[in-house]
């Protein structure tokens, strides 16, 4: 188990290193920072001093090493769009807002999807099953920016129950969280259903019933414990994509999170902040996958003992 | 010889299981009558699809939901009618009075729980006690099925055990609550021949120790000869012959039984090709008139294709019965 963890953590770190290379190269491929950062009428002297100041006259590998050493210390330079702000610090300030919204969306996804998927499998072919399939189909067919707008129209404009946008009270978070979660509920519920269906036909389920185990325990203990690996694998992707993929929904709902910062920074060609956002997203992505790997260990004894 | 007189432990009367499909109903278990006495081993023999496993699952009332149901008949255990019990009363019977060993040890243990957890779950349900003694009782059960170092094996996961060891663990679950009868559904089919022999010996020893009855389902007449006192032969959902094993071996009344016995390979004696039964049994959905075995029967007459033969005594004392026109005419 120790070896399993060491392998996973070191492969995460390696992936992170690759990402820094990509981020670094991308910011150089997309044109010289000189054009982006200096006004069009800059003199040759100004350009030369800028190049020297930023180390742009050094070989590429040396520039990368400087970037990496600074990045490890959390130093991505200062923001261009928001003068005086430390790039990473600015991003990290917005992280709690994103985590709050993403966390609520993850919670909604899991709390609805798991029971829905399990019920659909246990009552296969029944009204519950058909209803769940319908619900899932809806969620997977609606693009989330569109769903976000429809939700605003129904619940804010028409019914007037919830605020249209912004962050503040808990009520502000409900609509964006639902808009993010619905698609994920659909995917997670369908995966849970198919995993449960497979497991419920297994011989050990029959043996549990033969022992006199009640139907509830058969489903929630014997079957779910084995079926859990499949939705759990998806949960890693789900958590990561909810936490990092909220750019669209944060924009629709003017939610001041990392996604919003990313979009604004790209618009303003604010390279230090863009780099900081990408790295922050990458770390969040890796941590949530690492968390899932830890959950595997809890759920599956074959990994624990292996 | 054990006493098999008196009231049977398990008595099955006119048991019929129905599977309803859009194409119509069919009966994988059709009018079964048999009984098992305490301390006795009854074999149920038949080809795949003959309804053996359906019979087993209907005894514990765990037929596949929506697909199959018990249409009529009676199953009594120690005189108590099982078909009238509520689901929660039936759950108390399962595992404690009637236990079961399933066919495939590779898949019949839950991979997510240790062997000990799976044994003590049955114990806790039927015969609760403090956690500590549950563990000790689970170790005892493993010891009874001759698992070496049971104190260590109890914490093993199924994936850490060999096939034979897993089937012993399944056996430990079955005997843990001291059931009156164990239904073993082809428990040795997927084991190596040497492991198979050990397992059968173990079952016999456990039976002598505890006096439990065994209902042994198999397609192998050789095992029946080895293990069982009486046997029921099934074909196409019907019991075609039943009686004491020695008498049936010496003098099979039904042509199907005769052919099955002839198909058991012998170490000494006859050489040459192994005998087989020509043709295929009818599919469960086929509508069969007359005797279902008639198309494959070397003695079939025109009457066999038209009328189903009744079940009649093949012997003077009524212990040995068969369902064949040749016996009726005797």
Q: Does B15 share its domain with B82?
A: yes
Q: Which residues lie closer than 8 Å to B226 by C-beta, 6 or more apart? A: B200
Asked which of B150, B178, B206 is the last residue of a domain, the reply is: B178
Strand order in the sheet with B312-313: B98-101, B181-185, B213-218, B41-45, B230-235, B238-244, B321-322, B312-313
Domain membership flag for residue B268 = no
Do residues A200 and A122 touch, judged by C-beta distance below 8 A?
yes
Helix (H/G/I), strand (E/B), else coil: B243: strand
Q: Which residues of B touch A225 (CB under 8 A)?
A: 110, 112-113
pLDDT for B2 equals 44
Indicate whether B37 and B157 sit together in one domain: no
| Domain boundary residue, one of B178, B207, B230 | B178
Domain housing B131: 109-178
Please state the ipTM of this predicted complex.
Answer: 0.86
- Asked if residue B31 and residue B172 are part of one domain, the reply reads no
Is residue A97 within 8 Å of residue A255, measured between CB atoms?
yes
Name the domain boundary from B209, B234, B257.
Answer: B257
Q: Is B186 left (phi over 0), alpha (psi -120 to 50) or beta?
A: left
B125/B90 same-domain check:
no
Chain A, chain B: beta-carbon pairs less than 8 Å apart: 78
pLDDT tier, B97 (very low <50, low <70, confident <90, very high otherwise): very high
Same domain as B135, residue B58: no
Q: Mean per-residue pLDDT for B150-174?
A: 90
B34 in the same domain as B55: yes
Based on the fold, state whether residues B211 and B234 are members of the same structural domain.
yes
Task: Reply yes or no on whether the pLDDT at B3 is more than 60.
Answer: no
Q: What is the DSSP string of B13-65?
A: EEEEEEEEETTEEEEEEEEEEEEE-TT-EEEEE--TTSSHHHHHHHHTT-PPT
CATH architecture of A87-305: Orthogonal Bundle (1.10)
Asked if A305 and B100 come within 8 Å (Cβ–Cβ), the reply is no
Whole-angstrom distance, CA of residue B84 vs CA of residue B76: 10
Chain A residues whose beta carbon lies within 8 Å of the beta carbon of residue B96: 212
Percent of chain B having pLDDT more than 90? 39
The verdict on B86 and B68 lying in the same domain is yes
Beta-carbon separation of A207 and B114 below 8 A: no
CB contact under 8 A, A210 and B107: no
Select from A210, A218, A299, A305 the residue whose CB has the most chain B CBs within 10 Å, as the one to mutate to test that interface.
Answer: A210
Assess whether B46 and B85 both reside in one domain.
Answer: yes
CATH 1.10.3720.10 placement within chain A = 87-305
Cα separation, B255 vs B266, in Å, equals 19
Mean model confidence pLDDT for chain B: 87
**CATH number, domain at B92?**
3.40.50.300
Q: Which residues pair with B217 in a beta bridge?
A: B44, B185
Distance (Å, rounded) from C-alpha A284 to C-alpha A96?
A: 12
* Cβ neighbours of B170 in A, within 8 Å: 207
What pLDDT does residue B220 have? Answer: 87
pLDDT of residue B1: 40
B88: chain A residues, CB-CB within 8 Å: 214
Same domain as B172, residue B245: no
Please report, for residues B175, B199, B220, B278, B305, the alpha-carbon distance to residue B263 in angstroms, rounded to integers and kept in the order given: 33, 23, 9, 11, 25
Residues B156 and B144 in one domain: yes
* B76 and B192 housed in the same domain: yes
Residue B271 belongs to some domain of the structure: no
In tens digits, what is the pLDDT along chain A, a chain of 306 residues? 778 788 888 988 898 899 888 888 877 776 666 666 677 777 888 888 877 777 777 788 888 888 888 888 888 877 777 777 888 888 888 888 888 888 898 999 999 999 999 999 999 888 989 999 898 888 888 888 888 888 888 888 888 788 877 777 887 888 888 888 888 888 899 999 999 999 998 889 999 999 989 888 999 999 998 898 888 888 888 888 887 767 888 888 888 888 888 888 888 777 788 888 888 888 888 888 888 888 888 877 777 765
Residue A283: which residues within 8 A CB-CB, separation 6 or more? A16
């Amino acid at each position: 188990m120790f070896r399993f963890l060491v392998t996973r953590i070191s492969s995460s770190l390696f992936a992170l290193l690759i990402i820094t290379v990509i981020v670094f190269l991308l910011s150089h491929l997309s044109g010289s920072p000189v054009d982006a950062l200096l006004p069009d009428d800059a003199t040759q002297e100004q350009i030369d001093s800028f190049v020297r100041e930023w180390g742009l006259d050094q070989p590429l590998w040396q520039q990368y090493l400087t970037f990496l050493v600074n990045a490890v210390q959390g130093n991505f330079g200062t923001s261009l769009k928001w003068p005086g702000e430390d790039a990473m610090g600015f991003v990290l300030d917005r992280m709690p807002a994103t985590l709050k919204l993403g966390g609520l969306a993850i919670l909604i996804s899991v709390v609805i999807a798991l029971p829905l998927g399990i019920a659909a499998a246990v009552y296969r072919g029944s009204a519950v099953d058909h209803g769940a399939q319908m619900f899932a189909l809806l969620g997977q067919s609606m693009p989330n920016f569109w769903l976000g707008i429809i939700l605003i129209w129904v619940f804010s404009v028409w019914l007037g129950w919830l605020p249209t946008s912004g962050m503040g009270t808990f009520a502000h978070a409900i609509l964006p969280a639902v808009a993010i979660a619905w698609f994920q509920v659909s995917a997670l519920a369908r995966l849970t259903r198919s995993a449960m269906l497979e497991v419920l036909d297994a011989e050990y389920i029959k043996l549990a019933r033969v022992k006199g185990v009640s139907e509830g325990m058969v489903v929630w203990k014997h079957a779910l414990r084995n079926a859990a690996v499949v939705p759990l694998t998806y949960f890693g992707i789900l958590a990561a994509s909810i936490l990092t993929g909220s750019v669209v929904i944060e924009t629709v709902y003017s939610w001041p999170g990392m996604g919003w910062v990313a979009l604004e920074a790209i618009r303003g060609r604010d390279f230090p902040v863009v780099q900081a956002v990408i790295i922050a997203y990458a770390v969040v992505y890796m941590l949530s996958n690492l968390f899932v790997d830890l959950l595997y260990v809890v759920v599956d004894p074959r990994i624990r003992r292996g | 010889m054990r006493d098999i007189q008196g009231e049977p432990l398990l008595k099955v009367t006119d048991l019929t299981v129905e599977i309803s499909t859009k194409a119509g109903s069919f009966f994988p278990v059709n009018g079964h009558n048999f009984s098992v006495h305490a301390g006795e081993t009854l074999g149920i023999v038949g080809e795949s699809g003959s309804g053996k496993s359906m019979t087993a699952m209907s005894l514990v009332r765990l037929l596949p939901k929506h697909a199959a149901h018990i249409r009529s008949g009676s199953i009594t255990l120690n005189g108590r009618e099982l078909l009238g019990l509520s689901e929660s009363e039936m759950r108390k019977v399962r595992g404690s009075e009637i236990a079961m060993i399933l066919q495939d040890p590779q898949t019949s243990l839950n991979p997510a729980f240790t062997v000990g957890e799976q044994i003590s779950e049955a114990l806790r349900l039927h015969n609760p006690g403090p956690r500590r003694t549950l563990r000790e009782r689970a170790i005892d059960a493993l010891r009874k099925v001759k698992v070496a170092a049971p104190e260590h094996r109890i914490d093993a996961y199924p994936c850490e055990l060999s096939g034979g060891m897993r089937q012993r663990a399944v056996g430990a679950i079955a005997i843990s609550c001291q059931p009156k009868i164990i239904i073993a559904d082809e428990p040795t089919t997927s084991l190596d021949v040497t492991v198979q022999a050990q397992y059968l010996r173990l079952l016999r020893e456990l039976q002598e120790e505890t006096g439990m009855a065994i209902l042994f389902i198999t397609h192998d007449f050789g095992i029946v000869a080895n293990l069982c006192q009486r046997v029921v032969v099934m074909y196409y959902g019907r019991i075609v012959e039943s009686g004491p094993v020695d008498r049936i071996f010496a003098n099979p009344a039904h042509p199907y039984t005769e052919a099955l016995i002839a198909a058991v390979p012998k170490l000494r004696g006859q050489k040459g090709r192994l005998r087989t039964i020509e043709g295929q049994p009818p599919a469960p959905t086929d509508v069969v008139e007359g005797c279902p075995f008639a198309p494959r029967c070397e003695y079939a007459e025109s009457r066999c294709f038209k009328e189903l033969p009744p079940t009649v005594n093949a012997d003077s004392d009524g212990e040995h019965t068969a369902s064949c026109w040749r016996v009726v005419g005797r």
